Structures are given as structure tokens and as C-alpha cells.
Amino acid sequence: MLQTKMNHYDVIVIGGGATGAGTARDCAMRGLKTLLVERKDFTAGATGRNHGLLHSGARYAVTDQESASECISENMILRRIARHCVEETGGLFITLPEDDLSYQAKFVESCQAAGINAEVLDPKEAIRMEPSVNPDIIGAVRVPDGAVDPFRLTTANVVDARLHGADIITYNEVVGFVKNQNRLEGVNLRHIRTGAESTYYADVIINACGIWGAHVAELAGVKINMFPAKGALLIFGHRVNSVVINRCRKPADADILVPGDTISLIGTTSSRIPYDEIDKNEVTPEEVDVLLREGSRLAPVLANTRILRAYSGVRPLVAADNDPSGRSISRGIVCLDHAERDGLEGFITITGGKLMTYRLMAEWATDLACKKLGRTAHCLTAKTPLPGSEQTESPKRKHIIELSTEQKAAEGRHGTMSRYISSHNANDDALVCECEQVSVGEINYAIENLHVHNLINLRRRTRMGMGTCQGELCACRAAGLLGKANGCAERTLSDLSSFLNERWKGMYPIAWGETLAEIQFTSWLYNGVCGINQMVTPNKD
Amino acid sequence: MSYQKSNISSNNFEQCIKCTICTVYCPVTAVNPEYPGPKQAGPDGERYRLKKPLFYDEALKYCLNCKRCEVACPSNVKIGDIIQLARIKHSKLRPGLRERILANTDFMGTLASTFAPVVNTTVKLKPVKKLMDWTLKIDSHRTFPKYASQRFTTWFKRHAEKSQAALPNQVTYFHGCYANYNYPQLGKDLVKILNAVGYGVQLMEKERCCGVAKISNNLIKQATRDAKRNLEEIRHSVAQQREVIATSTTCTFTIRDEYHHILGLENGDVREQVNLATRFLYRLVDEGKIKLAFRDDFRMKAAYHTPCHMEKLGWSIYSTSLMRMIPGLELLMLDSLCCGIAGTYGFKRENYKYSQAIGAPLFKQIADFGVDVVACDCETCKWQIEMSTGVKVENPISILAQALDVERTKALNNIK
């Protein structure tokens, strides 16, 4: 394909996670002609596979002051710019009888040094604040933790990038680069389903692919030493806690319990996996055992609470360049200028870091891109609210009382953007997803505005199918609406089948009790009543 | 591993597998699109209310508390209780004068029965009904239950109390507001039957309203006060080896289940000693402890209506089996459907049309059956069915009393 004005960009950002979406937004806001490309769907990688914890930074205070300070400053920024993605729950660091209470003093001191407001509480006060916490606690510290919804956060960044003129391409994998001597000039893409190939050109290409970044860098001919670390988590059926509960000890397995939207999450484990397993995302019985055993120490009620599903993600841990053994691993942000490092012009890698610091990572990467392009625009992302989080004039509280339940839920998910959701007639207000209160209007809004190609996209944009029944009632309803929008019944049927299989994947490791009954009922409905297994074979994606 | 051996959640709300059978059986969902239905209002809504209380939906006020959802649920989710508790905890609607008037059945009963002839005539007058509709929003289509000029307790003290102690067995009768203020004949009928089979009847020293109307009108403090007092009386009675029986399904159900589930009072120690009169009698007959003899000239064609709380108790079999012992009674079974009144619910103007729409299929079946009488253990169903169909409604105890051959029964049970 020839290079034309149409397919030439200032910047191409590879990777549709929080970092990639945030970088595309930052670039577009600074007036760069930007293209964001993603292999699958936004948030399909580590962004959509973590705790959704709005870290105060306290967790890193003792071991990594730099990360801790970054976290607390980003924490305060996200509360302003991403109000509709954040819930200000507060957090506790608890000391159990088997933990060393003397760690607490060091912890509080380190927090204060990093600028994190850590306040020692009487254990009784902590139990009053969070009744689900283990009543045996001997110490508690309050920190400004919170919950952040990574799906909403990423979607809002994508929406804003597009509002600022960025182009977006999903379901296209980078299969190679256009290289001219020591300079990258473009990317070769291949549609993961149709196989259609295309090429786009840019002056700067930013690799924001998380753990997949090592592979992408390799395609460009440079080596980044990354160590995939898998973390598994469990989702409980309802909110067990309303305050984030952490363990006040050196970070270990299953020591964070986060209330996220309607559910609670315990995680994570940490285990090194080979690079060729980064797409597997399986959760082993041993991991489930550890999560339950350690989780029940934080909140004993977890031992008897219904589990909805298990999932895992892969952290992109980057080895320092001078240490090929991988022992000296940083959890901090890694921004590589490959011109300086490898003599390869027009290529930047932004990796490491955390969901919490996605904005700062985007800022660093964009600063570097601007420097390369000779542009002087400043970063405004720390001050400009994301779409949905703008300050409204009317007092929110009074207004929300008059809304119906599904409207309240939609406002929680889309913030001020929920004003674009059709309602006030029986059709639009009808519920698609009953567990998560997603209306027909909201599904249609998502299909039209939020880059939805299939049911899994739709789930990430709306929470449809994320509730107790895991798609049992809503999957076929949503498929009906999606089929109407894309006009292809056959594709929608195979999509429905993939969606149900994807739900089963997360239920399989914890398939007992009500969850097992639920999935049996679902299977009976879709196989027995609808005969779906006789009509279609699921998509590979 | 001791983890996850069982999943526990308050009122089993996480045991819901979203089969939606409850919503199919909900009488309100079928007629009122404003009501989200038991699944949405119950376990689904509970997850959201746990997230933030502002997710409470005032449309939960449309719930009848009929508990048919709980009967239908295959997973034992206490859907009705979840909804009641959410209303108590989150509703911003404060009970007004109307709610207080309707809910304080014993206070109003005391007042009204004192001036019964005046009250009965007045509330029948069209202008008065209109006035109540305007001022209190009590629907003008409603027929108010008549008040008796002599309360059951007064009759009992004057005509029955003295002879009770002489009988070999004793039982305590929880008459409830209805038998006391509106229809003392029901209490008299029960005394007649029990005495004939050798059971003396004792009343509580100070019986209070069971509290069901106060619970459904969100007057929880008052309901709890009454319930505590009643539990004291019940414990006193049980300590003296006297079981407590009632002729009202709702009183029975409230004392046995709602006191614990909704008001959070401990009643497990006496719960099994609180019984419905028909179940009490049937069991005695079944165990061969008593015998019943019926008049040869008694003839009646009746249809049995299962009140919602009877459905929840699962005891209609006792009432119908007892009635089937009467040789002259032809008994038909009506489908178990809500009549729509749900105590004070149907009296409220905003609920009237839903109340009648809910009852419509039942009224039609009653008309189709062409019976002399509808048999039913619930007093508010009686008002609703009598008003809506014109067919007389009798408690099975009253039917039994009419058919009973007292002399032969006494002789069979060796009572002089």
C-alpha cells in the first residue's frame, strides 16, 4: 500500500489497554494525528484482568517509594478526571495475629514519606468501619484506596481520543513493521478473523502492548527482556465489603479484597509463566485454594460466599537492561526510546507500570513522541476530565433519586454520557441484563458509540452478562439487539456461542454450589431449549 | 477443605439462580407494570442496594407480601422477606394518617365497636366514602368490614369463660382483631366445636394485634412492641401446657414466621406451639384423640379458596380435609390465586385497580362454580370476595360449627 495523506499519521499507538488508550488520548489532545490499533478488543489484556484497585500507593510504600508517590498522585488525579470510573471507598491495611505488628510502624512511616495519608486506627474502629473484616485483627491503618473500573476508564479514554480526532482500529494484529534503514515508518496489520492485510504509516510508533510488547518489539527487531507474571483473582457474587481491605505485611498472595461495582474481588496470586502461555489465562485449583484460604483471613465471610468466576491476567514485568538474569525487576514505569537504546528511530516502548499510573505512562510516552516530532504542546490530561466525568451544574444527588434503577446504574457506568441513552419508553427501558440493570437503551447506545463488534465487547462496555447469572438471561437478548444492528444472524449466533463459552471458562474453576446449578441451567436453556450447539460452532476469538 | 462447603447469604439471596419462576407466580407483576417483580425487587435489587442504598426503588411498595414468590422458588430464597426488609430499611415514604388508621386494627376496633351501629351506617354512606377517598385516599369503592356491637371478648367473659375450666383439655385462642371486633361469631363457633370435643378455651390476658398491618405499613416500632407482648403471652400459655391456636391464617403466619424473619424477634422456642385451628383439630382427629359427628340434615355446596399466607404455610390440606369429613358438604377447590386485597393494601386508592385486577380470575372462577359459599381461612380475602362476587364467605371453622352435631359429638368424646 502506498503512503498517502490518508494513511499517514504523526503517531501510531499499538495496544488498546488503558496505557494505549490513554496515550492515544494524550497524543490526540496535543494535536497529533493519531491512530490506535488493537489486536482484539480494548481492555482484553491485563487492563481488564486485574483488581480494579485505585491504589493509594500504600502497598508499595515500604519497598518502592517512587511507585508509591506516583500512585498517590495519580490516585488524586483520577478522582478528578475520571469521577465516573472511580469509587472513593477508602482502604484498610489490617494486621492479623500471625502478622508482625512492628511492620505497621514502618509502613505508616513509609506512607507518610511518600505523601500518602495513612492513619492508624483502633481495631474496633476498623471493624465498625468495615464489618466484614476479620474480627481478630490486632492493628489497622486507614489509607485513601478506592476502586476504579478499568473497562470504563479505558472506554472513556478511547471516546475522548476519538473526539480529539484519533482513528481507532480494533481486531487488527501487528504482523510486521515498515522499516527503512534504521527507522520504523509504518505497521503492517492483519485482521484477526478475515485475514485482510493493511499498512499504516507514522513518524512515531508507540508500543503500549503490556506483556505482548516484547513480541511487538521483536517484530521491530529490538529485544526487551520481559517476565510474564500471572495473577489469578476470584469474583464474589455481591459486595462483601465496602472498604478495600489489604494485609499490612510485605506484599503476598491474595492480600487485597476490593469492592468493585456490584461485586467483590480477591486477589492475586503471582507466578512466573513461560512467554508462550500469556494468552491462556487459566486458573488452577491450587490458585483457587490459595485465594480462598488467604481471602478468608481478610474477611471470614468469603469462605461461604458464592463465587461468580475466576480469572487471571499477566503483569508485564520488565528486567533492567543491564541484568539479563531477570532478578532485578522493576514494577515501575519503563519508557524506552529505542533510538537511544537500540539505534532504531521512530519507535517508543511504554511498559511496566500499573493500571493506576496509565495516565502518567501516557504522558511520558507522549512527551517523548512530541520531542521526536518537534512539537511543543503540553500535557493536559491531568486536568481535563474524561467524557462522562465533567462537572455537572445540577446537584447530582437530588437528580439521581428521581431516576429508575436502570438509569441510576447506567449513570454509574457512563457518568454524564448517560444522557445520550434513550429512555422513557417501554422498549428502551426494558432490561436486557437483569442482574446488572442494563436496559435496551444502554445496549443500543453502546453498540452505536462504543466500538462494539460482538457480545464480549458489549459486556466490557456495559457490564451486561457480568452479574449473578453470567449471561443466562441476557446473552440471547443482547444477541438479538446486536444482530439487528449488524444485520447478520449467522455471525451473531456464533458470537452468542463464543460468549457463552467465555462465561463458562471463568466459571469452570469454581463450578460448585449455586454457580454449578446456574451454569447447568444456562446450558439446559441454550442447548436443550434453543439447540444452539446444533446450529453453530463458536468463533475462535 | 472447610471453604465453600455451603454458600450462605442473608435470606438466601445469593442462592437465586435467576430462573424467574417467582416473577411468573407474582400476582402484582401480571397487572402492574410499575412493579419490577419479585426477582428484580428481591435478590437482583439486593445486590445493588448493597452497593449503594440509593438504588432502593420505591416501586417496592406495590409488593403485596403474599409470599407466593417464596412458595414458587426452587432455591429457597426468601424473596418476600428480602423485599419487606428492604422497604423497612430504605423506604423514604413515611406512614401517614391513613396508614396509621388502617394499620392500628385493634385501636380502631376498640373505638369503632363501641359505636358500632353509628360507624357501620356512616361508613356505608356514599358522601362519607367520597370524603375518605379525598382526605385519606381510601378508595371509595371499598366496602368496610362491619363492626360488631358486642366484642368476642365481652361475649366470652359473660357467656363462656366460667364453663371452660371444667373441660379435660385446655387450649389458648388467639382470636385476632377480626374475630374480636368484626365477626365474634367465628370465635363463638370455635368455642362451640372445641367444647364439644372436650377442649376448654382460654384467652390471653392482654392479646395485642398480631401486627401484620403495622409491618406492611412500615410501623415497625409499634409492631415490635405488640409482637413482644404477644410472645410473652404465648410463652406463658405454653408454660401451662396450652397450645395457642388461631382462626386467622395471617395471624398464625405472622406470629410463626414474620416475628422472626421481619422483626428479628426470637420465637423458635414457641413457634411450633402456635397453630391454626383447622390444623389443630385435624391432627386431633387424625391421631384418634377426638371424634366429630355431623348433622344429617346439613347440606352445602362450597368452594375452597387458598389465601396467600395459607399457601405459604402449606396448610390448606388441613382445612379442606377437615371439611371433607362433613357428609353433607360438596367441596370444590378453587385455583390457588391471590384475591388481591392483601390486608390493608387494597383499601388504598392507588392500589384499588390493581387489587381488583389481581382478583379478577378468582372472581370469575367463583362465579363459574355456582357455589352457595366460599370457604376461606382469611378475613381480608372474605371482604374482598364478598364485595367483588356477592358470594358469602365463611371460615371453615364456621362451616364445621354449622354442620356439627354437638350432642352426638359430645357423646362420642365422653363429654357431659
Q: What is the pLDDT of residues B372-413, one digit of tens each?
A: 999 999 999 999 999 999 999 999 999 999 999 999 999 999
- Per the CB < 8 A criterion, the answer to whether B343 and B177 are in contact is no
- Per the CB < 8 A criterion, the answer to whether B116 and B148 are in contact is yes
**B309 — pLDDT class (breaks 50, 70, 90):** very high
Probe site for chain B from A468, A470, A473 (most B CB atoms < 10 A): A468
Residue intervals in chain A for CATH 3.30.9.10:
87-145+227-316
Task: Tell me, yes or no, whether B316 lies in a domain.
Answer: yes
Q: Which of B193, B208, B114 is nearest to B160 (CA)?
A: B193
User: pLDDT: is B126 or A35 the higher one?
Assistant: A35
Task: Tell me, yes or no, whether B176 lies in a domain.
Answer: no
**Closest CA–CA distance from residue A286 to any residue of chain B (Å):** 12
* Chain A: residue whose CA lies nearest to B91: A401
Interface of A with B (CB under 8 A): 237-239, 259, 261-262, 289, 292-293, 296, 303-307, 400-401, 404-405, 408-409, 426, 431, 434-435, 437, 467-469, 472-473, 512-514, 517-518, 521
- Per the CB < 8 A criterion, the answer to whether A421 and A445 are in contact is yes
Question: Domains in chain B: how many in total?
Answer: 2
**At residue A401, does pLDDT exceed 60?**
no
**A393 — pLDDT class (breaks 50, 70, 90):** low
What pLDDT, on a 0 to 100 scale, did the predictor assign at position A394?
Answer: 56
Distances (CA, A) of B227 to A128, B171, B254, B258: 30, 20, 9, 10
Domain boundary residue, one of B60, B90, B120: B90
Task: Tell me, yes or no, whether B254 lies in a domain.
Answer: no
- Per the CB < 8 A criterion, the answer to whether B346 and B32 are in contact is no
- Residue that has been written with the C-alpha cell 422497604 in this structure: B87
Q: Which chain B residues touch A467 with a CB distance below 8 Å? A: 44, 47
Query: Average model confidence (pLDDT) for chain B?
Result: 95
Establish if B91 touches chain A: CB-CB under 8 angstroms.
no
Please compute the mean of the pLDDT values over residues B350-367 and round it to a whole number.
96
Establish if B39 touches chain A: CB-CB under 8 angstroms.
yes
DSSP per-residue letters across A126-149: HHHH-TTS-TT-SEEEEE--EEE-
Establish, for the pair of chains A and B, how many residue pairs have beta carbons separated by less than 8 Å: 97
B265-284 confidence digits (pLDDT tens): 999 999 999 999 999 999 99
* Chain A: residue whose CA lies nearest to B77: A514
Indicate yes or no: CB of A405 within 8 angstroms of CB of B36.
Answer: yes
**B145 — pLDDT class (breaks 50, 70, 90):** confident
Backbone angles phi, psi at A214, to 5 degrees: -65, -40
Query: Average model confidence (pLDDT) for chain A?
Result: 93
Residues in B 211-240 with any Cβ partner in A closer than 8 A: none
- Residue that has been written with the C-alpha cell 504482523 in this structure: A175
What pLDDT, on a 0 to 100 scale, did the predictor assign at position B108?
Answer: 85
Indicate yes or no: CB of A238 within 8 angstroms of CB of B14.
Answer: yes
* Chain B: residue whose CA lies nearest to A306: B7
What is the spatial distance between Cα A102 and Cα A139, in angstroms, rounded to a whole number?
10
Establish if B82 touches chain A: CB-CB under 8 angstroms.
no
What is the spatial distance between Cα A218 and Cα A220, in angstroms, rounded to a whole number?
5
What is the spatial distance between Cα B66 and Cα B310, in angstroms, rounded to a whole number?
10
Probe site for chain A from B51, B54, B73, B75 (most A CB atoms < 10 A): B51
A77-104 confidence digits (pLDDT tens): 999 999 999 999 999 999 999 999 999 9
* CATH number of the domain within which B67 lies: 1.10.1060.10
Per this entry, what is the length of chain B? Answer: 416
Cell digits of residue A78:
483520577
What pLDDT, on a 0 to 100 scale, did the predictor assign at position A540?
Answer: 54
Indicate yes or no: CB of B17 within 8 angstroms of CB of A409.
Answer: no
Q: Which of A152, A220, A205 is nearest to A34 (CA)?
A: A205
CB under 8 Å to B26, separation ≥6 — which residues? B35, B37, B38, B68, B69
Q: For B40, which of A434, A472, A517 is closest by C-beta distance?
A: A434
Indicate yes or no: CB of B44 within 8 angstroms of CB of A435.
Answer: yes
Per this entry, what is the length of chain A? Answer: 541
Q: Which chain B residues touch A426 with a CB distance below 8 Å? A: 33
**Closest CA–CA distance from residue B42 to any residue of chain A (Å):** 11
Task: Tell me, yes or no, whether B331 lies in a domain.
Answer: yes
Domain coverage including residue B32: 10-90
**At residue A326, does pLDDT exceed 70?**
no
pTM score of the predicted model:
0.94
Q: Can you say how many angstroms the Cα of residue A111 is from the centroid of all Cα atoms in its chain?
A: 26
Probe site for chain B from A238, A431, A476, A520 (most B CB atoms < 10 A): A238
**Element of type H or E holding B275:** strand B274-276
Task: Tell me, yes or no, whether B199 lies in a domain.
Answer: no
What pLDDT, on a 0 to 100 scale, did the predictor assign at position B395?
Answer: 98
Domain boundary residue, one of B50, B73, B90: B90
Task: Tell me, yes or no, whether B351 lies in a domain.
Answer: yes
Please compute the mean of the pLDDT values over residues A210-233 and round it to a whole number.
95
Probe site for chain B from A84, A405, A434 (most B CB atoms < 10 A): A405
What pLDDT, on a 0 to 100 scale, did the predictor assign at position A329?
Answer: 66
CATH code reported for the domain at A87-145+227-316: 3.30.9.10
Establish if B47 touches chain A: CB-CB under 8 angstroms.
yes
Q: What is the ipTM of this complex?
A: 0.92
3-state SS assignment for residue B82: helix
Helices A489-507 and A455-462 pack at an angle, to 10 degrees, of 60
Domain boundary residue, one of B90, B124, B151: B90
What pLDDT, on a 0 to 100 scale, did the predictor assign at position A215?
Answer: 96
Q: For A405, which of B7, B13, B57 is closest by C-beta distance?
A: B57
**At residue A399, does pLDDT exceed 70?**
no
Distances (CA, A) of A274 to A277, A278, A353: 6, 7, 20
B328-348 confidence digits (pLDDT tens): 999 999 999 999 999 899 999
Least confident of A116-130, A174-188, B87-101: B87-101
Cell digits of residue B406:
354437638
Q: Which of B42, B146, B126 is nearest to B86 (CA)?
A: B42
What pLDDT, on a 0 to 100 scale, did the predictor assign at position A1?
Answer: 55
Indicate yes or no: CB of B3 within 8 angstroms of CB of A400.
Answer: no
Q: Which chain A residues touch B51 with a CB distance below 8 Å? A: 239, 259, 261-262
Task: Tell me, yes or no, whether B275 lies in a domain.
Answer: no
Please compute the mean of the pLDDT values over residues A410-418 and round it to a whole number.
93
A469-498 confidence digits (pLDDT tens): 999 999 999 999 999 998 988 889 989 999
Establish if B54 touches chain A: CB-CB under 8 angstroms.
yes
Q: Is the domain A8-46+151-225+321-373 a CATH 3.50.50.60 member? A: yes
A16-33 confidence digits (pLDDT tens): 999 999 999 999 999 999
**At residue A328, does pLDDT exceed 80?**
no
**Closest CA–CA distance from residue A190 to any residue of chain B (Å):** 41
